[in-house]
Structure 1
Amino acid sequence: MKFDLALSNGDIVFPGEGVSRGSIGIVDGRIAAILDPSERVEAGRVIDCTNRWILPGVIDPHTHIGFGDKENDWTTETATAALGGVTGLMSFWRSDDLDASTAPWIAEGEARSSVDFGLHFGVTSTRHVDELQALSRRYGISSIKVYLMYKGATGAAKGFTEVDDALLFRALQAGSRVKNGVVSVHCENTEVTPVFREPLMAAGRDDLPAWDE
């Protein structure tokens, strides 16, 4: 069989199993065969991996594409990820109108991302909860996140006025009805945090151990 690409004679890392010398044949961007070093490899392009490791790509499940530089993040952040061995990532996506904004955001990613990607929906309103099942079916997104650090005045300052424990429980209920649904929680307690933070700030503490107190 002739491959599009072959990674020849490298030390292949099999997670949980060990390392074996061999070659990998790739067709249409997918692994088509793992070959013994003694087997002859024919490919349109052969990369000699002698004395080099061949590792599976890393999947980063927690990224914030668009939270920094929305215009350029798909390009810069995913290129950096690829350089570090990350071949797939999951990024959080928040918007007042998830239905209207998700398709354009996915299209931007498909046009500019250097790696495979998926999205987590950020749930910050009852509208998001009510639309969750339909949105999940439409866009194939089954991962949901609720941000409890946006409760009360902290959230209101950022325009989030509906985040509370009731929204969390509604999101958990809605997530249970999504196929393969996973609900994660940014679970700070905004009422308790100042009890610990304010004495440290009053004492002028900004050292690293203070963050653990």
Structure 2
Amino acid sequence: MTAELVISGGRLAVPTEAVDPVDVVIDGGHIAAVVPAGEAPAARRRLDASDAWVMPGFVDIQVHFRTPGGTESEDIASGAAGAAMGGVTACVMMPNTIPAIDSPAMVREVLGMAAGAPCDVRTSACVTADRAGERLADLGALYAAGVRVFTDDGDCVADDALMGAALAATVKLRGAVISQHAEDPAMVSGGVINEGPVAERLGVRGRPAEAEISVVHRDIELARRTGGRHHVLHLSTASAMELVAQARQDGVRVTAEVTPQHLVLTENDVEQLGTTGKMNPPLRSASDVAALRRGIVDGALDAVATDHAPHHPSLKDCSLTDAAPGMIGVETMASVVWSELVASGGMSPARFVEVVSTAPARIAGITDHGKPIRPGSPANVTVFDPAEAWTVRAADLQSRSLNSPWVGRTLTGRVRHTVLTGSPVVVNSNLCS
């Protein structure tokens, strides 16, 4: 027997964190066997995983690939290429496009554009029609079209009745989740960066932490009342995280994600990063960052997602007040998290896999990704070299935009290979043609 592909000599991060090297045998788009290193059958192709971890492919459940309506900043091809380079085998696009993704026809259109991409690109859809916050989109029809994540991301669903009705709908739509950009629009109107000393020093209006805390509290109570399923996008404050953790203990169906930037950068970094450091919700205080880092390690937070938000240079080459909010990150996510949390010993490789793969896939209802490396699992696999140091250079990234806060940083840990449904899409840190 000759296997299609063997990933040879790597270590499994989960379930046992075994240190003994193994060979992972892949056939027909699935993992056929996991055997001690050197015992795999002959194969048509081999990928070297020596001194590296073999992990389920990473899953990023919040990316903006700007299709349709913003392809000067990113398109599905460039976004998916960056995702693959970052070990991401599945991702979920946000629907704040032009036009908004709020109909089954739009869902079919963007998914058709994603066919053949080096990453399994899924899409969310709007909670309200055209993200206008006036009436619900047809959630049932969108669900039937394959959507599982509903969000008006970029805008908060501020109306209590609408948000409650959306959450109630998830009770009947198995696996559906309402994801919220949790900032009260009235409280952040005109706000630029985190409310505090840096905003005062720069002479710009702040976005208060209470804007996030109040919406998270309201949405938790609506989820509690309706029995609906709720997910907090890019949570950024310690107090909001505490609300989520307590609600989960109470049995409320709520989860929360955090971005790499909110785990590392603070409001002080805006002064050095300039407009690249502007995002919504904003970079917060050092105490918030410290709390969020503890939360992603100990389970108060569920997942890491990037909020990959590319912007054409013209949208950032302006004043801080006028600049578009957001930063890119899908290609660097794993390396940033590994450098900051795992390499230092604060997070285990098994927990790393949980927050960048298993939990995001579970939250977004992506059933064929984030699975253990064992026989029968779909062969969506990332080989991650924990020791390789590399310096982020904007020109080397796949994105069509340049707004990465990590440019110039040397990170520890890099994706060596990415395998999508049994086929290598990245080999030796190079995108396959």
Q: Same fold (TM over 0.5)?
A: yes
Offset, 1:96: 6.4
Partner of 1:155: none
CA separation of 1:109/1:190 partners in 2, compared to 1, >3 Å: closer, same or farther?
same
Equivalent residue for 2:107?
102
Contact 2:126 2:151 in 1 (8 A): yes
SS in 1 for 2:81: helix
Q: Given that residues 124 and 147 in structure 1 are in contact (C-alpha distance below 8 angstroms), is that contact kept between their aligned partners in structure 2?
A: no
Give the aligned length: 199
Aligned residue in 2 for 1:131: 138
- Opposite residue 108 of structure 2, the aligned amino acid is A
3-state SS of the aligned residue for 1:188?
Answer: coil
Matched, 1:145 2:151: yes
Report the counterpart of residue 92 of structure 1 in structure 2: 94
**Structure 1 counterpart SS, 2:61:** strand
Confirm whether residue 181 of structure 1 aligns to residue 176 of structure 2: yes
Kindly indicate whether the alpha-carbon contact (under 8 Å) linking 1:6 and 1:25 is maintained by their aligned counterparts in 2.
yes
Distance 1:195 1:79, change over 3 A: closer
Percent identity for Structure 1 against Structure 2: 24
Amino acid at match of 2:89: T
- Report SS of the residue matched to 1:117: strand
Q: Kindly tell me: are residues 96 and 6 of structure 1, through their superposed partners in 2, closer, same or farther at Cα, counting changes over 3 Å?
A: closer
Cα distance in 1, alignment partners of residues 202 and 43 from structure 2: 64
User: How many angstroms does 1:76 deviate by?
Assistant: 0.7
| Separation of aligned partners in 2, 1:40 and 1:96 | 45
Deviation at 1:186, TM superposition (A): 1.1
Aligned counterpart, 2:233: none
- Segments of structure 1 that go 5 or more residues without pairing to the other structure are 152-162
The residue number in structure 2 matching 1:18 is 17
1:122–1:146: 8 Å Cα contact kept in structure 2?
Answer: yes
What code does the residue aligned with 1:32 have?
Answer: A
**One-letter amino acid matched to 1:166:** A
Do the aligned partners of residues 204 and 21 (structure 1) sit closer, same or farther apart at CA in structure 2, a change above 3 Å counting?
closer
Taking a change above 3 Å as real, the CA distance of residues 46 and 140 of structure 1, as seen in their structure-2 partners, is same
Query: If you compute each CA radius of gyration, which structure gives the higher value, 1 or 2?
Result: 1
Aligned-pair RMSD on alpha carbons?
A: 3.2
Deviation at 1:75, TM superposition (A): 0.8
Distance 2:203 2:110 in 1: 41
TM-superposed CA distance for 1:54, in Å, is 2.7
Counterpart AA for 2:127: V
The secondary structure found in structure 2 opposite 1:33 is strand
Distance 1:46 1:212 in 2: 45
Task: Supply the AA of the counterpart residue of 1:109.
Answer: A
Distance, in Å, in 2 between the alignment partners of 1:21 and 1:121 is: 42
Give the corresponding residue for 1:154: none
TM-score (norm 1): 0.76
Within-5 A mapping of 1:19-168: 19=18, 20-66=20-66, 68-69=70-71, 73-94=75-96, 95=100, 97-111=102-116, 113-125=117-129, 129=136, 131-137=138-144, 139-147=145-153, 149=155, 164-168=159-163
- Name the amino acid aligned to 2:110: W
Cα distance in structure 1, aligned partners of 2:161 and 2:114:
33
**Higher-strand-fraction structure:** 1
- Counterpart amino acid of 2:42? E
Query: Of residues 252, 259, 267 in structure 2, which corresponds to 1:208?
Result: 267
Going from structure 1 to structure 2, the CA distance change for 1:38 and 1:6 (only over 3 Å counts) comes to: closer
Displacement over 6 Å in runs of 4+: 195-200
Give, in angstroms, the shift of residue 49 of structure 1: 3.3
Tell me which amino acid in the other structure corresponds to 2:60: D
State the distance in 2 between where 1:49 and 1:180 align: 35
After superposition, the Cα gap between the structure-2 partners of 1:57 and 1:121, relative to the gap in structure 1 and judged at 3 Å, is same
Closer/same/farther in 2, CA of residues 15 and 199 from structure 1, 3 Å limit: closer
Whether the aligned pair in 2 keeps the contact of 1:146 and 1:186 (CA below 8 Å) is yes
In 2, the alpha carbon distance for the partners of 1:148 and 1:118 equals 18
**What secondary structure sits across from 1:192 in the alignment?**
helix
Structure 2: distance between partners of 1:88 and 1:123: 22
Match for residue 186 of structure 2? Answer: 191
**Residue type of the alignment partner of 1:129:** L
For residue 18 of structure 1, what is the amino acid of its counterpart?
E
